[in-house]
Amino acid sequence: MQKRVFNLIIVDESGSMSCIENQALAGMNETLSTIVKMDKIHENVEQLTTLITFDSEHRKFVFDNAPASKLRTMTNHDYSPCGATPLYDAIGIGIAKVNALTSPEDNVLVTIITDGEENCSTEYNLKMVKNLIEKLKKQNWTFTFIGTEELDVEGMAASMGIDAHLSFKQDMEGTKLMFKKEKLCRAQFCQCVAENMPLEAKSFFKVKK
């Protein structure tokens, strides 16, 4: 039976991300390459990707429910940090968009990457985002939250009802290591979906040897 994994990737493009702009861009491209690879390895699992970058000036769907064959390498034209951090709006709008495309049998992997706290959303608040996440966790949705060491990553994730969280040092090496781990865990997740082996959200960032 053919399965589907919807990859929803939400990446902070606010001004404070400029110090790791190139490494973040390289990391996103690694993530996209992993999705393409998983689509080829697990022929019974179709990979679809929605990637959103956001700041207070704009919200951009770099990929909008794109199959693996339509993914391309991102460039600096796709990612140029500036502005503030409407985190809740980006999460809420991204979830709503993907939710409209899925069926109960689909698997959805949501990845949120930020170096800052919410500071300027106008459409969604914390309660709305948490309610959405709690509802979808009861279906085949897995939520992960990745933030810099300067943040209370565990606390921010818990406030939104997200069980899987990862912190990273906001420099070139720390960002590189974070995306490397994310890539391994994404591949592990896809393998579990392909083999009908449930993976607890709390264990998402634990790489099996």
CATH number, domain containing residue 27: 3.40.50.410
C-alpha to C-alpha distance for 184 and 207, rounded to whole angstroms? 7
Q: Could you say which DSSP state residue 166 is in?
A: E
Mean residue pLDDT of the chain comes to: 96
Distances (CA, A) of 123 to 79, 87, 92, 93, 145: 23, 11, 8, 9, 20
Asked if the structure places residue 89 within a domain, the reply is no
**96 part of a folded domain:** no
Q: What is the pLDDT of residues 84-117, one digit of tens each?
A: 999 999 999 999 999 999 999 999 999 999 999 9
pLDDT of residue 209: 63
**Structural domain of 174:** 3-78+101-203
In a domain, 90, yes or no: no
Asked if residue 176 belongs to a domain, the reply is yes
User: Which portions of the chain are predicted below pLDDT 70?
Assistant: 209
Nearest to 188, CA basis, from 163, 172, 209, 158? 209
Residue 52 main-chain phi, psi, to 5 deg: -115, 130
Residue 27 lies in a domain: yes
Residue 111 lies in a domain: yes
- Which among 152, 134, 154 is positioned nearest to 143, based on CA atoms? 134
Which amino acid is it at 158?
A
Residue 136 lies in a domain: yes
Residue with tokens 């459409």: 123
Residue 125 is assigned to a structural domain of this protein:
yes
Closest CA to 144 of 128, 121, 160, 132: 160
Structure confidence at residue 98 (pLDDT): 98
How do 141-148 and 3-12 pair as beta strands?
unpaired
Number of domains in the chain: 1
- Quote the pLDDT of residue 114: 97
